[in-house]
Structure 1
Amino acid sequence: MSVPRLIVFDLDFTLWDCGGVWCDCLSPPFRVRDRRIEDRTGRLVRLYDDVHDILTHCDEQAISIALASRTQQPDWARELLGHLDITHRFAFAEIYPSSKLRHFAALQQASGLAYKEMLFFDDEMRNIDEVGGLGVASIYVRDGMTAELFHASLNEFAER
């Protein structure tokens, strides 16, 4: 069975929910209390329920993982990743305002992998279309990452 050599995740509405807004719409400073992360207005930042299990699966299968986020507030996104204690899980992180095409060009250069060896998850169809055009297997995430979507996508990738 063929598995992707690199799995790339978007952040907002893909790996996490920031109280129903993009992370660059939050209001720092962030407060961490009892493993809960809130912004100044009380918006809760949380990973979707299956994300830890998905990241663990990637670790267990020795699949490299990366982030591609075009947030206008990359420092906030990195701070939230730190508060969520998942920064170390990602081999690569392209987090800055730009096209996903630029993110993937940087990921390809940094990883040395071909686009056809990558699997990408994002909640925006325009990103799916753009990155899919590179030859990256690109999966639309409708309501946050789930284990069901993740494993079905791995199966689809293997059948390509």
Structure 2
Amino acid sequence: MSIPRLIVFDLDFTLWDCGGTWCDCLSPPFRVNGKRIEDRTGRLVRLYDDVHEILAHCDDHAITLALASRTEKPTWARELLSHLDITHRFAFAEIYPSSKLRHFAALQKDSGFAYEEMLFFDDEMRNIHEVGGLGVTSIYVRDGMTADLFHSSLNEFADRQNPHRG
């Protein structure tokens, strides 16, 4: 089965939930209390339940990972990634307010991977359409990343790579 050379994740409502809002709407400072991360108002920041399993699968299959987030508060996003102890999982991170097209141009340049070798997950349909137009297999995330969505998307990627398989 063909696997992506690079898998790219959005952050808000894709890899994590920040108390029902975007990370740039939180109120630092962030507090780490055991495994809980909260902002000043008590909003809980958490990875979706299957994210660790998904990241482990990518590690096991030597799939390079990246982030693409258009947040207005990149330092907050990076701080949350650190608190969640997943920063080291991502070889590339384009985290700044801009079009996902700019994020992907940088990812393509820095990684050397063609757009057709990438798989992208995001919760905003406008990003799915924009990035999909580049040739990236782009998957809409309705309610946060799940293992089922991830694995079905790997199959979709493989089908796009080899339309005669099956």
- Please indicate the TM-score interval, normalised by the length of the shorter structure: over 0.9
Paired letter, 1:81 = L
Q: What is residue 45 of structure 1 aligned with on the other side? A: 45
User: Structure 1 runs of 4+ off > 4 angstroms?
Assistant: none
Q: Could you tell me how far 1:35 is from its partner in structure 2?
A: 1.1
Percent identity over the alignment is 85
Paired letter, 1:12 = D
Q: What is residue 97 of structure 2 aligned with on the other side? A: 97
What secondary structure does 1:59 align onto?
A: helix
The CA distance in 2 between the partners of 1:63 and 1:69, in whole Å, is: 20
The CA distance in 2 between the partners of 1:149 and 1:22, in whole Å, is: 22
Q: What is residue 63 of structure 1 aligned with on the other side? A: 63
TM-score where L is the length of structure 2: 0.96
Could you tell me which runs of 5 or more consecutive residues in structure 1 were left unpaired when the two chains were aligned: none
Q: Could you tell me how far 1:34 is from its partner in structure 2?
A: 1.1
TM-score where L is the length of structure 1: 1.00
The CA distance in 2 between the partners of 1:34 and 1:8, in whole Å, is: 28
Q: What is residue 164 of structure 2 aligned with on the other side? A: none
What secondary structure does 1:55 align onto?
A: helix
Q: Could you tell me how far 1:30 is from its partner in structure 2?
A: 0.2
Q: What is residue 76 of structure 1 aligned with on the other side? A: 76
Paired letter, 1:47 = L
Paired letter, 1:75 = T
The CA distance in 1 between the partners of 2:13 and 2:123, in whole Å, is: 6
The CA distance in 2 between the partners of 1:26 and 1:36, in whole Å, is: 15
Q: Deviations over 1:97-140 (max 9, x none)?
A: 00000000000000001000000000000000000000000000
Q: What is residue 157 of structure 1 aligned with on the other side? A: 157
Could you tell me which runs of 5 or more consecutive residues in structure 2 were left unpaired when the two chains were aligned: 161-166
Q: What is residue 19 of structure 1 aligned with on the other side? A: 19
CA RMSD of aligned residues (A): 0.3
